[in-house]
Structure 1
């Protein structure tokens, strides 16, 4: 497929270079030029993935990420000059799937784009026959990207969904951090160690929203266990 990549970056030079590099790999890069209408442009373009800067005119990237997340689970990768751990955590907590700091290598950007597209739509996406998994009354639907318990449902990001499926498939057994990084992030060389912690934290909060506490336990020095 010719994946469409929406580039939300107010530095014209960087946006143009990103689009040019993206198109060398067979994707279609679309630049946002009106930063008051990011959400409307998103819905018009219907991209397969978004590259999002943090520092934008009027509203920042965190705001637009939250707006997109209200209606879409499209993969969102932040690219920002902000390098603090807090900024990266805040991006993930607001719905981002990944975070790249500036200055960056274009090859890393492309590697992450390829990885997220494969996870969301390609060879690593879940097949329909394996779409729904159930453990002790907890249902995970990969197609809808949602987890349900009794009459409550909460939406997940693609990464959260992949992590939860891995935990549910091995429920009551420890899933090591290494195996999670290996199976969920096939470009793990570029993954910040804190990224896994943040995604697990987000999953726990979402379980709390549907009335389940302490569903994912940390096994110190080993990994995590799913035991509802």
Structure 2
């Protein structure tokens, strides 16, 4: 079955280029130019992946992403002319899987889409341990691909789960950014290393929201990150 792509892009020339490239790769693409149309399409026929332009006439891709994330963890790629770091970090913190800045190569976008879909399909799973891993009251269930804190499942995006699971398998072990990029974002080689920092920041915020005191995920300057074994 062909994978369905939802494309939100109000510039017709760019949309036509992406439509041709994606359809040539065998994807089924539904193109819309307005935020409300994107949400209608999302609810009507859920796609396998969404490509969202940030600047559209009736809103922005960030808001569309927020709405989608309330009910779905589908892969999301932001497509935008903005290149400021704060925009990239915001997009990643909202749960986006990638961020492509215009001008771009349609072939590169297709390659990123394929890589993200492969990862979401679980083509490169981490072998599960014999039983769930526990660091204090943080638990990792590899079979269900869930992480819990004090008995409650954390609401995590795919990359947040993969990042926290990597740290949780080896408590106290320091992972460099390069190692984490390779282990978590191995199928997305063009992703910036600041992606790690953005996801660490979001994971800390989610843990604090659950009442976790202090930073369970520790920063080691010029070295990387580790997970504290006792909260």
Q: Fold match, TM over 0.5? A: yes
CA change 1:184–1:151 in 2 (3 A) is closer
Count of aligned pairs between the two proteins: 228
CA change 1:34–1:87 in 2 (3 A) is closer
CA distance in structure 2 between the partners assigned to 1:3 and 1:44 by the alignment = 16
| SS at 1:175 equivalent | coil
Unmatched segments (≥5 aa) in structure 2 = none
CA contact (8 A) 1:80 1:101 kept: yes
| Range that drifts further, 31-40 or 63-72 | 31-40
CA change 1:145–1:75 in 2 (3 A) is farther
CA distance in structure 1 between the partners assigned to 2:67 and 2:141 by the alignment = 23
CA distance in structure 2 between the partners assigned to 1:108 and 1:188 by the alignment = 11
| SS at 2:181 equivalent | helix
| SS at 2:162 equivalent | helix
Match for residue 196 of structure 1? 196
Matches within 5 A, 1:2-151: 2-125=2-125, 133-141=133-141, 146-151=146-151
Residue 95 of structure 1 and its aligned partner are, at CA, apart by 2.2
Unmatched segments (≥5 aa) in structure 1 = none
Q: CA RMSD in A?
A: 2.3
| SS at 1:186 equivalent | coil
Residue 179 of structure 1 and its aligned partner are, at CA, apart by 1.1
CA distance in structure 2 between the partners assigned to 1:64 and 1:145 by the alignment = 26
CA contact (8 A) 1:145 1:157 kept: no
Match for residue 218 of structure 2? 217
TM-score (norm: length of structure 2) = 0.89
CA distance in structure 1 between the partners assigned to 2:108 and 2:143 by the alignment = 28
CA distance in structure 1 between the partners assigned to 2:44 and 2:167 by the alignment = 36
TM-score (norm: length of structure 1) = 0.90
Q: Deviations over 1:78-135 (max 9, x none)?
A: 0100111111112112221211100011222122112211111141246788895433
